[in-house]
Amino acid sequence: MRADSVDVAVVGAGVVGLAVARALRERGASVVVCERTGIGSGQSGIQPGGVRRQWGTATGCRLATESFAFWREAQSLLESPVELRFRECGYLFVAHSERMLGRLRANVAIQNAEGVPSLIVDPPQAANLVPGLRTETLSGAAWCAEDGYFDRPQAVVEAFARGADVLLGEVTELRRGAGGWEVLSGSGALSAATVVLAAGVASAPLAAQHGITLPLEREERHLFLSTPIAECLVEPLVVSVERSFAAKHLADGRVLASDLAATGDAAAGAPRWRARVREGIRELLPILEYVDFPILASGAYDVTPDRQPILGPIGDGLHVAAGFSGHGFMIAPAVARIVADAVEGRLDPILDVLDLARFEEERLVPEPQVV
Ligand SMILES: Cc1cc2nc3c(=O)[nH]c(=O)nc-3n(C[C@H](O)[C@H](O)[C@H](O)COP(=O)(O)OP(=O)(O)OC[C@H]3O[C@@H](n4cnc5c(N)ncnc54)[C@H](O)[C@@H]3O)c2cc1C
């Protein structure tokens, strides 16, 4: 039987909430994860498992680098019943102008200073890295061979849920109680010394109940997927920010292609996004010309004004891990460690950068390499 009083209640059973709960359990805390719909029913159930260390801030690189060490050992660390294969296929960010190449070069310098083995390549080198890539309109590209994708990203989310005590029911109210919090949900009341909000944009209304403003916005995002194709057409991920285009052949055989600017209503936008994807394919990856994209997968990012997450304490016994701006899966291991440390009272120096106060104090750390 579940205790009605625990050390920590985590709100949200996405990859972040589950990873935080796992880290806390490993340290001996009693933890309940309160989830309104089901494990991985939010963004974590849509993301295709991309993991990269090519970022444009030292903060982004640090979160990614700590997480990358975890991902390389994911199979043994997460004890999954199915294989959690992380395929280091590489990410290629292409530039069609000297200006964009300059931006990529500046980001690579930041990455290299953080130990990330990325580099700038010229068009012929890019063509060698991605067979089938057309390079006529390229000035160069940034490449990291160790970036990659999980073969079964949802199995990774489920693996974080192993051993978790998940209480189903929407959390509607956080009430101050004796010794901490009363967490009120569709399943009743739960007492917890500490609450961690890991509910994406839905963290904001819960924090607002206590006068705390979390600057989180919902941003609709969409991906096109093909039906499965046996022959692998494009192994690395190819991204063109200037053409707002990205494509990659996933391990399940589906080709993923996206118009990176695709946001808003799918019924209205899909024909325009599909046309832009087709233009990107013609210009960069004609090998995909005859691939059909019948599936449109839709989800939403939880974005902050600087596209970096908000982490750590926001009140007495109240913590947050939200605002992942489209890259919360890949940095979940580092976030879990940092938030679990904070719950135990140890504040990682990165919280001086990613704390909530940065918005009021105008200490934003804009991450330029979000797609
Ligand atoms: C199309 C798309 C592609 C992406 N691709 C990548 C990628 O390749 N790599 C990457 O790293 N990231 C990617 N992301 C981003 C990534 O999916 C998210 O950053 C990450 O999943 C966030 O995890 P989370 O646990 O914070 O949020 P979520 O997975 O959204 O989990 C939040 C949970 O909280 C629950 N909840 C909300 N309100 C309440 C409440 N009041 N009470 C109880 N429960 C509540 C929800 O039901 C949900 O299950 C992508 C996102 C999208 C949409």
Residues 207 and 315 in one domain: yes
Residue 167, CA distances (Å) to 33, 35, 318 in order? 6, 6, 19
Asked whether residue 163 carries a pLDDT value surpassing 70, the answer given is yes
Query: Tokens standing for 120?
Result: 């700038």
Nearest one of 286, 304, 299 to 245, comparing CA atoms: 286
The strand ranges marked E within 293-353 are: 295-303, 310-315, 318-322
Q: How confident is the model at residue 13 (pLDDT cuts 50, 70, 90)?
A: very high
Our answer on whether the CB atom of 150 is closer than 6 Å to any ligand 1 atom is no
State the DSSP code for 231. S
pLDDT confidence of 132, banded at 50, 70, 90? very high
For residue 41, tell me if it sits in a domain. Answer: yes
pLDDT at 121: 98
- Determine if ligand 1 sits within 6 Å of the CB of residue 64: no
Give yes or no: residues 107 and 28 share one domain: no
pLDDT for 288:
97
Distances (CA, A) of 96 to 142, 242, 246, 271: 12, 7, 14, 25
Which residue out of 47, 70, 298 has the highest number of ligand 1 atoms within 8 Å of its CB and is therefore the one to mutate? 47
Ligand 1 pocket mutation pick from 43, 157, 218, 225 by most atoms within 8 angstroms of CB: 43
Q: What is the pLDDT of residue 240?
A: 98
Structure tokens at 163: 């051993």
The pLDDT of 143-157, averaged and rounded, is 97
- Shared domain for 171 and 232, answered yes or no, is no
Residues ≥6 apart with Cβ < 8 Å to 361: none
Express as a percent the part of the chain with pLDDT over 70. 99
Q: Model pTM? A: 0.97
Q: In this predicted structure, what is the pLDDT of residue 34?
A: 98
Q: Are residues 313 and 298 in the same domain?
A: no
Q: Is 33 in the pocket of ligand 1 (CB under 6 A)?
A: no
50 lines ligand 1 (CB under 6 A): yes
Q: Which atom of ligand 1 is nearest to the CA of 50?
A: 8
pLDDT of residue 260 exceeding 60? yes
Residue 258, pLDDT above cutoff 80: yes
Q: Taking residues 118-125, report their average pLDDT.
A: 98
Q: What are phi and psi of 175, to 5 degrees?
A: -115, 135
Residue 133 inside a domain? The answer is yes
DSSP 25-73: HHTT--EEEEESS-TT-SGGGT---EE----SSHHHHHHHHHHHHHHHT
Tell me if 55 is assigned to some domain: no
Mutate to test the pocket of ligand 1, among 22, 33, 44 (most ligand atoms within 8 A of CB): 44
Ligand 1 atom closest to 258 (CA):
1
In-domain check, residue 72? no
H helix and E strand count, the chain:
11, 19
| Mean pLDDT for the stretch of residues 20-37 | 98
Give the pLDDT score at 177.
87
Q: Does 298 lie in the same domain as 334?
A: no
Q: What percent of the chain has pLDDT over 90?
A: 96
**250 and 210 together in one domain:** no
Q: Find out whether the beta carbon of 324 lies less than 6 Å from any atom of ligand 1.
A: yes
User: Are 211 and 241 within one domain?
Assistant: no
Residue 139 lies in a domain: yes
Alpha carbon of 329 to ligand 1 centroid (Å):
8
Q: Is the dihedral of CA 12, 161, 42, 288 positive or negative?
A: positive
Bridge partners (DSSP) listed for residue 94: 141, 240
Length reported for the chain? 371
Residues 323-348 pLDDT 10s: 999 999 999 999 999 999 999 999 99
pLDDT tens-digit series, residues 61-72: 999 999 999 999
Of 302, 325, 347, at which residue does a domain stop? 302
Residue 23, domain member (yes or no):
yes
Q: Give the pLDDT confidence score for residue 236 in this predicted structure.
A: 97
- Asked if 261 and 242 sit in the same domain, the reply is yes
Among 254, 283, 302, identify where a domain stops.
302
Whether residue 97 is found in the same domain as residue 232: yes
Q: Is 226 helix (H, G, I), strand (E, B) or coil?
A: coil
pLDDT score for 189: 94
* H runs (alpha helix) in the chain: 15-26, 58-72, 74-78, 98-113, 123-129, 153-161, 203-208, 266-284, 332-343, 351-354, 357-360
Which amino acid is residue 123, in one-letter code? P
> 104 in a domain, yes or no?
yes
The whole domain housing 42 covers: 5-46+155-216+304-360
Going by pLDDT thresholds of 50, 70 and 90, the confidence category of residue 1 is: low
**Same domain? 282 vs 311:** no
pLDDT tens column, 168-221: 999 999 999 888 999 999 889 999 999 999 999 999 999 999 999 999 999 999
pLDDT at 274 over 80: yes
In a domain? residue 368: no
Query: What CATH number did the domain enclosing 228 receive?
Result: 3.30.9.10
Looking at residue 2, its pLDDT comes to: 67
Domain boundary among 277, 302, 327: 302
Question: In this structure, what CATH number is given to the domain that contains residue 177?
Answer: 3.50.50.60
Which residue has its alpha carbon closest to ligand 1 atom 37? Answer: 199
Task: Report the domain count for the chain.
Answer: 2
Cβ of 147 below 6 Å from ligand 1: no
**Domain check: are 298 and 228 in the same one?**
yes
Instruction: Please say if the pLDDT value at position 301 is more than 60.
Output: yes
* CA 140 to ligand 1 centroid distance, Å: 33
Q: Which SS3 state, helix, strand or coil, does residue 304 take?
A: coil
Report the distance separating Cα 196 and Cα 286, nearest Å: 47
Q: Do 238 and 347 reside in the same domain of the chain?
A: no
Do the beta carbons of residue 171 and residue 36 sit within 8 Å? Answer: yes
The answer to whether 319 and 335 are in contact (CB under 8 A) is no
Say whether pLDDT at 257 is over 80.
Answer: yes
